[in-house]
Amino acid sequence: MSATSAWVSHFGLGSSPFSKEIDDADLWLPSSKHALVDQLSDALSEKASVLLTGEPGVGKTCVLRALRHRLPQAGFRLTYCHNATLGRRDFYRQLCLALGLAPSATAAAVFYAVSSHIEELGRERVHPVFLLDESHLLHQDTLDHLHILLNYEWDSRALLSVILVGLPELEDRLAMRRNRSLYSRLHWRLHLDPLVPDDTGEYLRTRLEAAGASREIFVSDAVAMLHEATVGAMRDLDRLASAALREAARKKKKLVERDVVARVIDRDSRED
């Protein structure tokens, strides 16, 4: 959405307030998210591997971005992998490309290239971190193999951290007998909860202020309704709050009240 959209200027904003294009430095970090970023950062300082789960749209990927912003550049090499739907060989080829290595033809050669690179970084005192987003989609043959990637010098050295991020069912899957070698190596198991009602108000306010709002736009009843409809998922909140702003602007209202939000929620649920 361009900054010149009629509804954006109707509310005196400089940009679309609920866009996903936020700079890492501008991410909203209430104390609950701050604590999570601290925990992730502690885990990486200990060279540990992590499981991070949460429902869709609660802000998992944004927490990874906040972590990227927070970690000292020197000392860590973060590699973000978002295509979890690949078979093992293509998964490692993707990893090679992300690491700037030439992907070799055979699975063994690709694996060797990745693990040699990790050992080399270890010698340079740089700790590599693989962020595997959407890990609930990982193929079983990739999951079967991941713990081998964490094994250096007879499993005596922690040269790599893996952060597996995904929906709550990822934890159920990892807890299965077949995946216990990997699961037992994920020493930090963190969960991102949906927003609580006060968070929802603060989130809306923070993002509106960042887009240039200088006054309240959503009345408190409207915020409560949005919270109830989204059960604390921010991506849904982005969609419904934007729709409510557009609807209020169409009706030439400067405040978003219950009736507008009720209409937007109703329309949204009928579209599903």
Ligand X SMILES: Nc1ncnc2c1ncn2[C@@H]1O[C@H](COP(=O)(O)OP(=O)(O)OP(=O)(O)O)[C@@H](O)[C@H]1O
Q: Which residues bind ligand X (CB under 6 A)?
A: 20, 22, 27-29, 33, 54, 56-62, 234-235, 238
By C-beta, is 61 or 142 nearer to Mg ion? 61
Which DSSP string do the residues of 214-244 spell out, in sequence order? Answer: -S--B-HHHHHHHHHHHTT-HHHHHHHHHHH
User: Collapsing DSSP states into helix, strand and coil, what is residue 22?
Assistant: coil
State which of positions 111-140 bind Mg ion (CB under 5 A).
none
Q: How far is the CB of 195 from ligand X (least distance, A)?
A: 9
Please choose, from the candidates 61, 53, 19, 59, the residue with its C-alpha nearest in 3D space to the C-alpha of residue 230. Answer: 59
Of the two residues 71 and 114, which places its CB atom closer to ligand X in the complex?
71
Instruction: Draw the binding track, 44-73, toward Mg ion (x: CB under 5 A; -: no contact).
Output: ----------------xx------------
Note whether 206 and 59 are within 8 A (CB).
no
Give the residue among 204, 201, 207, 205 at the shortest CA–CA distance from 14: 207
In this structure, the strands spanning 76-81 and 188-191 are: unpaired
Which of ligand X, Mg ion, none binds 27 (CB below 5-8 Å, type-dependent)? ligand X
Q: Is 16 in the site for Mg ion (CB under 5 A)?
A: no
Q: Which of ligand X, Mg ion, none does 28 bind, CB closer than 5 to 8 A by kind?
A: ligand X
In contact, 118 and 162? CB cutoff 8 Å: no
Instruction: State which residue, 61 or 242, has the beta carbon closest to Mg ion.
Output: 61
For Mg ion (CB under 5 A), the number of binding residues is 2
* Residue type for position 203: Y
**Binding positions for Mg ion, rule: CB under 5 A:** 60-61
